[in-house]
Chains A and B, each alone.
Chain A
Amino acid sequence: MHEGNIQSSETEPVSSSLWRDAWIKLSKNRLAIFGLFILLTLILVSLLTPIIAPYGYEEQNLALGATAPSSTHLLGTDIFGRDMLTRIMYGGRVSLMVGFVATSVALVIGITWGAIAGFFGGRLDAIMMRIVDALYALPFMIFIILLMVVFGRNIYLLFLAIGAVEWLTMARIVRSQVMSIRNQEFIEAAYSIGLSRWLIIKKHIIPNTIGPVIVYTTLTIPSVMLLEAFLSFLGLGIQPPQSSWGLLINYGVETMEEYPWLLIFPGIALSLTLFALNFLGDGLRDALDPRASKD
């Protein structure tokens, strides 16, 4: 299968049987495969939206107004006569992009922080992890709202703010993984043949932390998307003319008595995506990270 190839291209640093075992285990988990299928479909649809969307993004038809789903407008139209399927496809692009970009920000900060703390250990580690502990205690939701209010509701700030919140757990996971790896013999061997610390971190330590990182990344994306939808719903996230599922749900609520489909379809899109990603993440955890117990 296609996904199998993606997995195996990453196998070089780790023993290939680990990845093959994980893939076999994952492919037996029907819900996880369902999640993977939904995710890949979404990515594909998002990439192709400008080509396959049935109508233009800004295309209005005020004479038509809000209509229930029909053969010309599969998911109906909103009060401006805009096609809901098209709106949801474009909104999904933004929601997914926030999910991926903000998670990448979290990944970069979290991996770097956790790897440095875990690798050097000692005093530096104590200080760095104490900072993480202190940040955990902060009410970030409130801080993100504050940032959005003060510096304007700007999509790049949203990426950064959400990413800056979500890296903490990643740093903890990477640190504990690195700590357990750096004391193993093959690292000593790498030192003995004269590799620099940076090369050891890059070539040996980081690749070996990839399993838990993939698992946690898969679980971070839905929580980031939820955060974005939450903020957009309150009117503090994505701003028109851009759209996201949270914003569409916000509009849908205003007119749900008369036109319930304007609430229900974006709601299904968001829930289904969160559902798929959570199931995929759970499945990956069982497959890749047997030590982490499933609660």
Chain B
Amino acid sequence: MLKFLLSRIAQAVPVLLVVVTATFFIVHAAPGGPFSADKAVPPEVIEALEAQYKLDQPVWRQYISYLGDILSGDFGPSFKYPGRSVNELIMAGIPITAELAFYAMLVALGIGILSGVGAAMRPNTLQDYAPMTLAMIGICMPSFLLGPLLVLVFGIELEMVPVSGWGDIPGDKILPSITLGTGYAAYIARLSRGGMLEILSQDFIRTARAKGLSESTVIIKHALKGGLIPVIAFLGPAFAGLLAGSFVVETIFQIPGIGRFYVQAAFNRDYTLILGMTIFLSTLIIIFNLISDLISIWLNPKLRDEISNG
């Protein structure tokens, strides 16, 4: 197991290096310098700025020094927010985005598992078709459409919940969390239905039922652990998706999280901020994929044996 863990970490390192290198050179291949948008800046000012951001050195030297910087956890200064470092901006945004992603995940897991397991208990009945059709709608309804529609109905027409902000007014966290979570609830419902159906058809479940255990004990004690493996394997990719989804949801609801910073950085052409955030988010995603892989292996005895035997 330890060997497997180490080999997976060893695989992640070159991927990260590719991310850093590709991002760095893409950003440096940008037509026009980062300061070219600013009108009528005296050349000596540009020179001073370029010296400050090390842009006067050859690209490969910039690359080496950037690698050194990020290894020590320093993403450098922001181009467009003078006096603020990329680290500061990431640290300001990350708690908010993490909280949003956490609530969205609660929404997704709660609704998804309940309806998926419920559907698998009575396949091909209304209890199956109704949530699965809803799940299809949830998958096809993009967050950038669902969010505004929720705002329109519950925020503007019914005036039940606030329509923007994060933690300013009570209840303003409800709509963003639902908007971000719904699509994943739909996927999780489909995955848990599939996983549960497979488990429920196996012999040990028949045995459990034959000993006279109640259906709820069979489901909770015996079937859930195996039936939810596909859901756990999905959590890593889902996390990546939540981060991307936070770009949209934070823009719609004006939440000062990391997703909104990223989109703004993209519009401002704030190259150091984009570079730093891309590397930071990629690292996070790779780590989460690794964790969800490890958990699903740990839960699945077949895979676990394969790995410890060879």
A interface, by DSSP: helix, strand, loop or mixed?
A: helix
Which residues of the partner chain B approach A146 to less than 8 Å between Cβ atoms?
A: 23, 26-27, 266, 274, 278
User: For B247, B262, B269, which residue has the most chain A Cβ atoms within 10 angstroms?
Assistant: B247
Question: Using a CB-CB cutoff of 8 Å, which residues 172-226 of chain B contact chain A?
Answer: 190-191, 193-195
Determine if B299 is an interface residue (Cβ-Cβ < 8 Å): no
Flag if B278 contacts A234 (CB, 8 Å): no
Contact B278 A230 (CB under 8 A): no
Say yes or no: is A137 at the interface (Cβ < 8 Å to chain B): yes
**Are B266 and A278 neighbours in the complex by a CB distance under 8 Å?**
no
B89 within 8 A of A: no
Q: Determine how close the nearest CB of chain B comes to the CB of A60; give it in whole angstroms.
A: 25
Task: Kindly list chain A residues whose C-beta atoms are within 8 Å of the C-beta of B151.
Answer: 256
Please determine whether A139 and B140 come into contact, CB atoms closer than 8 angstroms: no
B144 at interface by CB-CB < 8 Å: yes
Q: Assuming A138-B15, A138-B19, is B144 touching A249 (CB within 8 A)?
A: yes
Pairs of residues from A and B, 3 with the lowest C-beta to C-beta distance, nearest first: A295-B194, A274-B140, A141-B244
Q: Are the CB atoms of B30 and A150 closer together than 8 Å?
A: yes
Is A34 engaged at the interface, CB distance under 8 Å to the other chain?
A: no
> Which chain A positions have C-beta within 8 A of B278?
139, 142-143, 146
Total A residues in contact with B, Cβ cutoff 8 Å: 44
Contact with A along B12-33 (1 / 0, CB 8 A): 1011001100110011011100
**At the interface with chain B, which of A1-9, A42-50, A173-181, A263-271?**
A263-271
Distance of A126 from chain B, by nearest CB (Å): 13
* B96 contacts partner chain A, Cβ-Cβ < 8 Å: no
A275/B14 contact (C-beta < 8 A), A229-B144, A257-B156 known: no
Q: Is the CB of A270 within 8 A of B142?
A: yes
With A235-B267, A275-B137, A295-B191 in contact, do A253 and B252 touch (Cβ < 8 Å)?
A: yes
**Beta-carbon contacts under 8 Å, A208-248 to B:** 222, 226, 229-230, 233-236, 246
Q: Is A64 an interface residue (CB 8 A)?
A: no
Contacting residues, chain A, for B148 (C-beta < 8 A) = 249, 252-253, 256, 263
From the candidates A139, A236, A263, name the one contacting B152 in the complex (CB within 8 A): A263
Contact A149 B274 (CB under 8 A): yes
Inter-chain pairs besides A134-B18, A236-B263, A295-B195, 9 sampled, C-beta below 8 Å: A137-B15, A142-B244, A233-B142, A246-B144, A256-B152, A257-B152, A267-B145, A275-B140, A278-B136
- Given A137-B289, A233-B248, A270-B145, does the pair A145, B140 have CB atoms closer than 8 Å? no
Number of B positions contacting A (CB below 8 A): 52
In the complex the two chains form, is B15's CB within 8 Å of A234's CB?
Answer: no
A17 at the interface (CB under 8 A from B): no
Q: Is B111 an interface residue (CB 8 A)?
A: no
Whole-angstrom distance from the CB of B296 to the nearest CB of chain A? 15
Stretch binding the partner chain, chosen from B74-82, B102-110, B280-288: B280-288
The reply to whether A134 and B141 contact each other, CB–CB distance below 8 Å, is: no
Q: Judging by beta carbons under 8 Å apart, are B266 and A147 in contact?
A: no
A142, A233, A267, A293 pick with most chain B CB within 10 angstroms: A142
Does chain B have a CB within 8 A of A294? Answer: yes
Quick one: closest A residue to B28, CB to CB? A150
B72 at the interface (CB under 8 A from A): no
Which of B142, B190, B266, B278 is the most central at the interface, judged by chain A CB atoms within 10 Å of its CB? B142
Q: Tell me the residues in window 216-255 of chain B with beta carbons closer than 8 Å to chain A beta carbons.
A: 230, 240, 243-244, 247-248, 251-252
Q: Does B308 belong to the interface (CB within 8 Å)?
A: no
Complex contact B11–A134 (CB within 8 A): yes
Of the A-B pairs whose beta carbons lie under 8 Å apart in the complex, a sample of 29, sorted by A's number, is A137-B12, A137-B286, A138-B282, A139-B281, A141-B240, A141-B244, A141-B247, A142-B281, A143-B278, A145-B247, A146-B27, A149-B274, A150-B30, A151-B29, A152-B31, A226-B142, A229-B142, A233-B144, A233-B248, A234-B251, A234-B266, A249-B148, A252-B148, A256-B152, A257-B156, A264-B149, A278-B136, A293-B194, A295-B230
Q: B190 near A295 (CB under 8 angstroms)?
A: yes
Chain B binding site: helix, strand, loop or mixed by DSSP?
helix
A134 in contact with B15 given A233-B248, A295-B194 (CB within 8 Å): yes
CA distance A184 to B43 in the complex (A): 70
Contacts A139-B285, A149-B269; A295 near B193 (Cβ below 8 A): yes
Cα distance A203–B252 in the bound complex, in angstroms: 51
Residue from the list B12, B15, B136 in contact with A279, Cβ < 8 A = B136
What is the minimal beta-carbon distance from B135 to any residue of chain A, in angstroms?
Answer: 11
* A260 at the B interface (CB under 8 A): yes
Please tell me if B55 contacts chain A, counting CB pairs below 8 Å. Answer: no
From A133, A145, A260, contact of B266 by CB (8 A): A145
Q: Would you call B149 and A263 a contact (CB within 8 A)? A: yes
Pair B156/A271 contact, Cβ less than 8 Å: no
Q: Does any Cβ of A come within 8 Å of B114's Cβ?
A: no
Contact flag A234-B247 (CB < 8 Å), given A134-B18, A137-B15, A149-B269: yes
Query: Is B67 in contact with chain A by the CB < 8 A criterion?
Result: no
Interface centre among A250, A252, A274, A278 (most CB of B within 10 A): A274
B294 within 8 A of partner (CB)? no
Is A230 in contact with B145, judged by CB distance below 8 angstroms? no
Q: Which residues of the other chain, A, contact B137 by a CB distance below 8 angstroms? A: 271, 275
B227 CB to closest chain A CB (Å) equals 12
